[in-house]
Amino acid sequence: MGLIQNILAVIVVLGLLVTFHEFGHFWVARRCGVKVLRFSVGFGKPLWSTVDRHGTEYAVAAIPLGGYVKMLDEREAPVPEEQLSQAFNRKNVWQRIAIVAAGPLANFLLAIVAYWALFVVGVTTVTPIVGEVTPDSPAAQAGLSHGDEITSIHGDAMRSWEEINLKLVSIIGFNGELAVEAVPEGSSTPRLYQLPVSNYLVRQDPPQPLQSLGITPWRPDVPAVLGQVVDGQAAAQSGLQPGDRILSLNGEPVEDWMQFVAMIRDNAGRTLEVGYQRGDEQGTLSLTPGSNTLESGAEVGYIGAGVQQVSWPEELQREIRYGPVEAIGQAVSRTGEMTLLTVDAIRKMLVGLISPSNLSGPITIAQISGDSARAGMEAFVGFLAYLSISLAVLNLLPIPVLDGGHLLYYFIEVVRGRPVSEQTQAVGLRIGLAMVGTLMLMALYFDLMRLW
């Protein structure tokens, strides 16, 4: 059932993103007088198609992993003389730039609309209260302690753990003292804490922003009760089911979920005797955690199961909500922040500050799409917005084959006063295909590594 949900969720997500992206190209092309021959969502043989009065075919194809807008163009096929004025290649350079840029811009617009909807409806967050502080960690050295509420980092106000994590990820590679303001438990006055860090999160796989500082967020007691079990993974193969409460591992009592997770991670590939309770009945079974190798070489266990959600105290929950007009500015600001974060992450990956193993491909996207859909509309819409921004940024990279590569050629044409030669573009196309192909293979490889 989980696999089916993941597949349906990724089809919905990619379908929306691709449709908006290609509609951007389509809409501007029509406004510039270019004849659009086909608007296809998906690749391969059309499963459904229709033709409008302008002669444009709209199609939904069998492979839902992309899409395209095919325009009249002399470089692809002969064009009747009476239609030459409608050919893409006959338009001036600024019109071609507008048509190509419209796709990524449509994805940015989709993200803004998604964030606007979230801010108008209201986003529920958890107050960032420090739970535990690891001894001798940067947080401990600075004096942070249990019960402190983090209110700002480097002068930027923080309202939730999500905002804190995004801020911390944005400063990967930081050296020096991290300025954190927090309100101590029982006080109303914030204090400034200076956390000493060096090469913060550099090549960490995966990045653990809070753990690296020695901070564990406060959480209500989380019993070791399974909320989700992934088909085909160790937990499901052993016979565990959603709702089962884990009582012991190899005879050692399990007090809470975090202890259970720690014990699983420390026993990769080892067969464990699990004591569990299902309803009013108790039993035992054998469980062999799978093994995952981190970039550091460490082997960690996993079983393909999630925790059953628990309720947070109302006094520690916040709802971030804005009026329809104010939400526009907030949505634009959040889209800008996420765009800069994505661009900066790409830069840091190129210079070696972020491990390339953090690349994600279709398998990870499908898993996260399914997880966010199961978590509720708020999580799903937020993930849709972030993925839309990622797609826009990726397409704007100056790599031939992508929209950014075409824009690079057109801006060179603006400067030189004449188009880039067909031969140069053909060489660039081969280089671009090799780069994109390599990137896709790497993402798929890391997807499979995470899955295994």
- Strand, helix or coil for residue 195: strand
Work out the burial of residue 141: count CB atoms within 10 Å of its CB; fewer than 13 is exposed, 13-18 middle, 19 or more buried: middle
Alpha carbon separation from 451 to 5, 89, 366, 446 (Å, rounded): 17, 45, 12, 8
Phi, psi of 182 (to 5 degrees): -150, 150
Specify whether the CB–CB gap between 128 and 149 falls below 8 A: yes
Strand order in the sheet with 272-278: 252-253, 245-249, 272-278, 281-287
Helix (H) and strand (E) counts in the chain: 12, 18
Cβ atoms 377, 330 nearer than 8 A: no
Sign of the CA dihedral running 370, 16, 433, 394: negative
d(CA 29, CA 274): 62
DSSP string, 263-322: HHHTTTT--EEEEEEETTEEEEEEE--EEEE-TTS-EEEE-SEEEPP-PPPGGGEEEE--
Residues forming a β-bridge with 195: 178
Catalytic-residue membership of 22: yes
Q: Mind telling me the catalytic residues?
A: 22
